[in-house]
């Protein structure tokens, strides 16, 4: 998988590249992002991993629409555009558990930005992406991973986040958009 990603990135004409790793929760998006970051960093290039979970809306601005909890405008204007066009961008994660922004950090734009998380290939973000991957997982394996990873929040994943991701997948079809698919 990492070699296939490397080949895709080599085909891109951009000096700075954005790789999106989308997929169902529990499919291994974060793990793949960190493995890829280690590989690319070992080759001497700078990499930054941004998590879509850090770009959710404050509770009072969320809607019931598909992906209505995501702040795509902030993601685009604070992260993607500055990454592509300026020497620095801001990292200003939002903590949904505390319903507040965390400390803002100014980051020198690296060669590669990995945008990891569900919703990372949403149609609003697609024009900025150099390449994209969708990681899939069977429902039984997904539930086993989520239960092992976070037993206290397992019910919330099953009642809220899995249905929200499935609605996003049905409405925006990230699987057919992505350059690579892995299950």
Q: What is the pLDDT of residues 43-99, one digit of tens each?
A: 888 999 999 999 999 999 999 999 999 999 999 999 999 999 999 998 999 998 899
Q: Where are the domains of the chain?
A: 2-182
pLDDT at 182: 96
* pTM for this prediction: 0.94
Query: What superfamily would CATH give domain 2-182?
Result: P-loop containing nucleotide triphosphate hydrolases (3.40.50.300)
pLDDT at 14: 75
Residue located via tokens 């350059």: 179
pLDDT at 158: 94
The answer to whether 18 and 109 have CB atoms below 8 angstroms apart is no
pLDDT for 110 beyond 80: yes
Exposure string for 90-117, b = 16+ CB within 10 A, e = fewer: eebbbeeeeeeeeeeeebebbbbbbbbb
pLDDT at 123: 98
Exposure string for 2-14, b = 16+ CB within 10 A, e = fewer: eeebeebbeeeee
What radius of gyration do the chain's Cα atoms show? Answer: 16
pLDDT at 115: 98
């Amino acid at each position: 998988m990492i070699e296939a990603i490397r080949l895709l990135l080599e085909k891109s004409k951009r000096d700075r590249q954005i790789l999106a790793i989308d997929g169902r929760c529990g499919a291994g998006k974060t793990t793949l992002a960190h493995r890829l970051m280690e590989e690319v960093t070992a080759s001497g290039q700078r990499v930054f991993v941004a998590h879509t979970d850090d770009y959710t809306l404050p509770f009072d601005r969320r809607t019931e629409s598909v992906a209505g909890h995501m702040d795509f405008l902030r993601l685009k204007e604070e992260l993607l555009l500055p990454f592509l066009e300026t020497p620095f961008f801001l990292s200003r994660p939002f903590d949904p558990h505390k319903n507040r922004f965390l400390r803002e950090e100014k980051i020198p734009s690296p060669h590669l930005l990995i945008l990891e998380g569900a919703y990372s290939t949403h149609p609003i973000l697609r024009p900025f992406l150099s390449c994209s991957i969708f990681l899939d997982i069977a429902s039984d394996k997904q539930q086993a991973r989520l239960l092992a990873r976070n037993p206290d929040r397992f019910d919330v994943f099953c009642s809220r986040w899995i249905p929200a991701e499935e609605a996003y997948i049905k409405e925006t079809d990230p699987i057919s958009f992505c350059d690579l698919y892995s299950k």
